[in-house]
Amino acid sequence: MSVSSMVQHFVRQLHWGAVRNALVASVLLAVAIVVGSRNLHDFDAALAGYTFATLFATFGIVYRYSVWLTKPATRRFWRRGWQMCFSPALWRGLRSPRILAGAVLSRLVIQDFVWRRGAWRWMGHMLIAGGCVLAAAITFPLVFGWIHFEQGAMGPDATYIVWFFGFPVHELPLEGIPSWFVFHGLIVASFLVIPGVMIAMYRRMTDHGAVAVQRFSRDLMPLILLFSVALSGLLLWISYEFLEGYFYSVLAQFHAFTVIGTLISLPFGKLFHIFQRPATLGVAYYKSPLAGHEQLACPVTGEAFAPALQTDDLNETLREMEFDFTAEGNEAPTWNEVSPKGRRMLIGRAHSRAREGRFS
Amino acid sequence: MSSPFKEFFIDFQRCIGCDACAAACSECNTHRGEPMIHVDKTDPGHSPQTTPMVCMHCKEPACALSCPADAIKIDENGIVHSSLKPRCIACRNCELACPFGVPKISENIQQMQKCDMCFDRTNAGKKPMCATVCPTGALFYGTLDEIRALRPQSKPINRWRFGRQTVETRVWVMVPTDVDEMVVDWPELMAGAEGPVDLAMKLKERFQLEGIMDPENHEPLPESLGSETTTSPGEAEFL
């Protein structure tokens, strides 16, 4: 395949609606960077590489998210989620915010479902997630020039002034525990991420279930990336704090290389789940008893097995995907209105009919 | 290098419901203690028949196509895998879409798990756990030539029809030699048909009427319950 036909093929594959969304998001972020850094006055040129990597990552993430939303199942699920979230019926008795708050707490903040997969696993995931959130909260505003520090009072009680979006918002003493944490937030983050990665790596090396299905690019590469970011960042600190800047410039370049690599990989690899995962909140609206959906009973087992709303939505999706599980004659329920157990029972009976007593 | 994967065959008529497959399946570390194979009684109270059900690995899997999180992947060997853990949001679409009733949602770990034909074993040229232990050959793993030589009076097919929908699967099902398509219809659910639920209700009514036993608790029913139910002459005749 020639280069020009490869380019043509690539362009044909592009989803132009998603390109538009991604461009809009990247331009908005670029404008926010210019405005937030007071026309780049507060922008640190040394961090420009990070900024461009972030803009690229934003484009990629919004592009992938937009393409993802065009899938019939995803689109219907997305719309239904928001619809239920703002449904006036569910706002009676504040049920909607209660469902949402419960889901945010359980599924995003505490992640108790990971705990039930394993205590160490939860520990590893929380350390990595906590470290990454902390590091992101510090890095991005710094890189965008939204936050910078200027010298405040001089003398024995010297202070720093924190500027945010071009406004002085806080003055903090140069010495002391709070300012140590402010200036060493990324070191703290690396002390969370490194043990977290160690725990995850140990599990991936020893757990037979994990070993059976893991793949290098999908499961190990993200851990290696996070580890190299955290370790190189930590080495930078050791270099300037304890070794008088020994090897600093090489380490700084290596650190930039690992961070930019991670940012660029965000839209493609496993870490995209950070953006995809909040869809779990929509599920809560289908399932929560607070939502009070009518449950569909299986005509075979007689047991309630799913909210009728979900089976209706699913049937629409399946129709859109050109599946037709309706019975011939239209007098019976569609196959999806039978519970999974009921389906298996009917398959067994259908097989008996196909055999017509000819067992061999 | 040729693929290490062979073919999987289900021969429903051979299942004796021993659950050895389920016990072997639950040994696997990817879903500790929880079997991914289903063994169901097809008509409890009427027939001892049982049906083993593994993932049929559809060529166009309804589970993957209805997954809003893009969490179910089909590999180059035609294996439909369990949900990717970081992506699965346990919405249950797959469970409700699968025509064979295979995927299992574990609410407590927020994840769909299903039979992946023991990917770790078959990938290394071994048999899946269930087919290794099945004492009757209801679950068989091998080549088409092997199964044809072993069971000349049956033939393997991989075409199913559910109502108006045709489904092609990677896994084969053994049927009489003149059958080309496994037709799953549900005449018992047609309007006016005598369904198993009705039968169960009638049995229960009879137990209650005669004041003998509660079939679930094996205790005499309280009188108040028995006296409230009635039955029509037609039903009594039926019973």
Q: Among all chains, which residue has been given the structure tokens 């009921």?
A: A342
**Beta strand extents in chain A (DSSP E only):** 147-151, 159-164, 167-173, 295-297, 304-307
For residues A163-187, give the mean pLDDT.
Answer: 88
For residues A29-54, give the mean pLDDT.
Answer: 91
How far does the CA of residue A124 sit from the closest CA of chain B (Å)?
Answer: 14
A323 touches chain B (CB under 8 A): yes
Euclidean distance between CA atoms B182 and B161, whole angstroms: 6
pLDDT per position as a tens digit, B160-213: 999 899 999 999 999 999 999 999 988 777 655 555 555 555 555 655 555 555
Q: Based on the number of CB atoms within 10 Å of its own CB, is A155 exposed (0-12), middle (13-18) or buried (19 or more)?
A: exposed
Neighbours of B129 (CB within 10 A): 24
pLDDT confidence bin for A172, thresholds 50/70/90: confident
**Beta strand extents in chain B (DSSP E only):** 7-10, 38-41, 50-53, 104-106, 111-113, 139-142, 154-162, 165-176, 182-184
With CA atoms as reference, the chain B residue closest to A330 would be: B190
H/E element, B137: none
pLDDT per position as a tens digit, A82-97: 999 999 988 888 989 9
Strand partners, A121: none
How far does the CA of residue A199 sit from the closest CA of chain B (Å)?
Answer: 17
Q: Which of B14, B47, B50, B89 is the mutation pick for testing A, counting most A CBs within 10 A?
A: B89
Half-sphere exposure of A340 (CA within 13 A, CB side): 22
Q: According to the model, what pLDDT value does residue B81 have?
A: 94
pLDDT confidence bin for A45, thresholds 50/70/90: confident
Does residue A300 contact residue B193 with C-beta atoms inside 8 Å? no
How far does the CA of residue A213 sit from the closest CA of chain B (Å)?
Answer: 7
Q: According to the model, what pLDDT value does residue A344 have?
A: 95
How far does the CA of residue B220 sit from the closest CA of chain A (Å)?
Answer: 24
| Chain B residues touching residue A346 (CB < 8 angstroms) | 42, 184, 186, 188-189
Does residue B25 contact residue B53 with C-beta atoms inside 8 Å? no
B93–A346 CB contact, under 8 Å: no
Percent share of chain A, pLDDT over 70: 99
Q: Where are the alpha helices (DSSP H) in chain B?
A: 20-25, 62-65, 93-97, 119-122, 129-133, 144-150, 196-209, 223-228, 233-238
Classify the C-alpha dihedral A190-A193-A198-A204 as positive or negative. negative
Residue B176: DSSP 8-state = E
Structure tokens belonging to residue A191: 């002390």
With CA atoms as reference, the chain A residue closest to B110 would be: A113
A297 touches chain B (CB under 8 A): no
CB-nearest to B65 from A77, A207, A321 is A321
**For residue B179, which of B156, B149, B162, B163 has the smallest C-alpha distance?**
B156
CB-nearest to A213 from B30, B53, B69 is B30
The fold for domain B7-185 equals: Alpha-Beta Plaits (3.30.70)
A280–B176 CB contact, under 8 Å: no
Q: How, if at all, do strands B165-176 and B7-10 pair?
A: parallel
| Chain B residues touching residue A114 (CB < 8 angstroms) | 109
Q: Which residues of chain B have pLDDT under 50?
A: 215, 221, 223-239
Domain regions of chain B by residue span = 7-185, 189-238
Residue A212 pLDDT > 60: yes
CB-nearest to B68 from A279, A300, A340 is A279
Which carries the bigger pLDDT value, residue A80 or residue B199?
A: A80
SS3 content of chain A, % helix, strand, coil (to 5): 70, 5, 20
CB-nearest to A279 from B31, B69, B176 is B69
| Chain A residues touching residue B12 (CB < 8 angstroms) | 348, 351
CB-nearest to B185 from A209, A286, A350 is A350
With CA atoms as reference, the chain B residue closest to A360 would be: B153
Euclidean distance between CA atoms A101 and A99, whole angstroms: 6
How far does the CA of residue B175 sit from the closest CA of chain A (Å)?
Answer: 7
Which carries the bigger pLDDT value, residue A53 or residue A175?
A: A53
B188–A343 CB contact, under 8 Å: no
**For residue B171, which of B61, B87, B89, B46 has the smallest C-alpha distance?**
B61
Structure tokens belonging to residue A261: 């690599």
Asked if this assembly's ipTM is beyond 0.90, the reply is no
For residues A140-169, give the mean pLDDT.
Answer: 88
With CA atoms as reference, the chain B residue closest to A280 would be: B89
Q: Which of B76, B88, B93 is the mutation pick for testing A, counting most A CBs within 10 A?
A: B93
A79 touches chain B (CB under 8 A): no
Q: Under 8 Å CB-to-CB from A304, ≥6 apart: which residues?
A: A295, A296, A297, A298
pLDDT confidence bin for A178, thresholds 50/70/90: confident
Residue A353 pLDDT > 80: yes
- A-B interface: how many C-beta pairs under 8 angstroms? 213
A346–B91 CB contact, under 8 Å: no
One-letter amino acid for residue B38 of the chain: H
| Chain A residues touching residue B30 (CB < 8 angstroms) | 209, 212-213
Residue A243 pLDDT > 80: yes
With CA atoms as reference, the chain B residue closest to A271 would be: B86
Q: According to the model, what pLDDT value does residue B208 have?
A: 59
How far does the CA of residue A41 sit from the closest CA of chain B (Å)?
Answer: 40
Does residue A346 contact residue A338 with C-beta atoms inside 8 Å? yes
B191–A107 CB contact, under 8 Å: no
Strand partners, A147: A164
A310 touches chain B (CB under 8 A): yes
Neighbours of A121 (CB within 10 A): 17
A349–B188 CB contact, under 8 Å: yes
Q: Based on the number of CB atoms within 10 Å of its own CB, is A191 exposed (0-12), middle (13-18) or buried (19 or more)?
A: middle
